[in-house]
Amino acid sequence: MQKKIAILRGDGIGPEVVEQSIKILQAIAAKYSHEFVLEEGLIGASAIYATGDPLPESTIDLCQSSDAILLGAIGDPSFDNNPKATVRPEQGLLALRKSLELFANIRPIKVYPEIAHLSPLKEEILTDVDLVIYRELTGGIYFGQKEKTTNYSSDLCIYHDYEIQRICALAFQEAQRRDKKLCLIDKANVLESSRLWRRIVQDMSSDYSDVEVSYLYIDNAAMQMIINPSQFDVIVTSNMFGDIISDEASVLGGSLGLLPSASYGSKYSLYEPVHGSYPQAAGKDIANPLATILSVAMMLQDFGMRQEASDIYRSVEETISSGYVTNDLDKSKNYKCSQVGDYIVAQLLEESTIILS
Ligand code: IPM
Ligand code: MG
């Protein structure tokens, strides 16, 4: 099979975690005789430094002419504490999501038993955790009208019915394939936009009568995620609540460095780790590449390459169980980002040339 993949390394640790994923793609291509045509584009702070624009037109063109997009991370501290900055790296990511209409962001949360002890939560709380978050990605407070004067600012949270229906349809269908439980997380006791989400989910539920629907306010959900996370199967929620609850849920697995994601619209698909650009680690070869590598597995799965994807899942599990991991996963280990990448490639190619030290 031949596939063209847009490679957007982005900022901070983005380039190095993407580098490991490229090795994985090359190994899969060699093993299964596929051809992956990889073409690189600029986004985020690196694009601002090079062109002044966080999302150059050429990057959008590249993404639109590719079968899939792999993105590293976006963000640069030199913009973070500068409220006067007129252009920001994150604008590149938000504009890309919006221009490709990537309205559904899927974030699966899995706990690997070998590293459950790394989570700050008690191991018994983590038994049977297996959930997936469907986060709406192109609407809500992120994209509503913004106003700024010298003495007030405002961000409008606006949702249209069709924006809610299309993500909820995907979430209902996913629940049907899984444990048939769907939880809408909102703030319907306060927000009009949340009441619309609730009404739409209620209306849609009759078309998915095999799915048990529940509703939680975001504040309660944040607590439930810590005290009883195994109650969740599929979560569906708005852009901002999904952003927050998914970082919280990453704690269950022991590291944000393990969470992959896929974003879908009607035409394009983008794969990226949930974590950010982790600038303190940039260039040090210490970042965990597994979230990005698992995002590649989601991409291959969507290409219909099921065996290839399951090879990656198996290799990542093997890496974790053999303790060949970066420092975030095991403080006693200092394997480099690139070493973990090499180890997974060796697993994929079933070479046993790497000796654990
Ligand atoms: C995420 C990130 C982004 C978001 C930032 C970098 C704009 O936190 O993908 O979760 O808020 O959506
Ligand atoms: Mg986030």
- Cα–chain-centroid distance for residue 164? 20
Q: Pick the catalytic residue: 243, 311, 328, 330?
A: 243
Q: What SS3 state is found at 290?
A: helix
Ligand 1, atom 12, residue with closest C-alpha: 243
Among 11, 80, 87, 93, which is best to mutate for testing ligand 1, by the most ligand atoms less than 8 A from CB? 93
CATH number at residue 284: 3.40.718.10
Cut 0.85: pTM above it: yes
Q: What SS3 state is found at 327?
A: coil
Asked if 5 and 74 sit in the same domain, the reply is yes
Asked if 59 and 143 sit in the same domain, the reply is no
Number of domains in the chain: 2
Question: Could you confirm whether 247 is annotated as catalytic?
Answer: yes
Cα distance between residue 323 and residue 321, in whole Å: 5
Segments forming the whole domain that contains residue 45: 1-102+259-357
Strand ranges inside 149-268, DSSP E: 153-155, 181-186, 212-217, 234-237, 260-264
In a domain, 111, yes or no: no
Domain end marker among 229, 251, 273? 251
Q: What is the pLDDT of residue 356?
A: 46
Q: What SS3 state is found at 307?
A: helix
Tokens encoding 106: 């899927």
Q: What distance in angstroms lies between residue 346's CA and the mean position of ligand 2's atoms?
A: 32
- Give pLDDT tens digits for 189-246: 999 999 999 999 999 999 999 999 999 999 999 999 999 999 999 999 999 999 999 9
Looking at ligand 1, which atom is closest to the CA of residue 246? 10
Low-confidence ranges of the chain (pLDDT < 50): 353-357
Letter for the amino acid at 7? I
Domain end marker among 196, 219, 251? 251
In a domain, 327, yes or no: yes
In a domain, 119, yes or no: no
Q: What distance in angstroms lies between residue 58's CA and the mean position of ligand 2's atoms?
A: 25
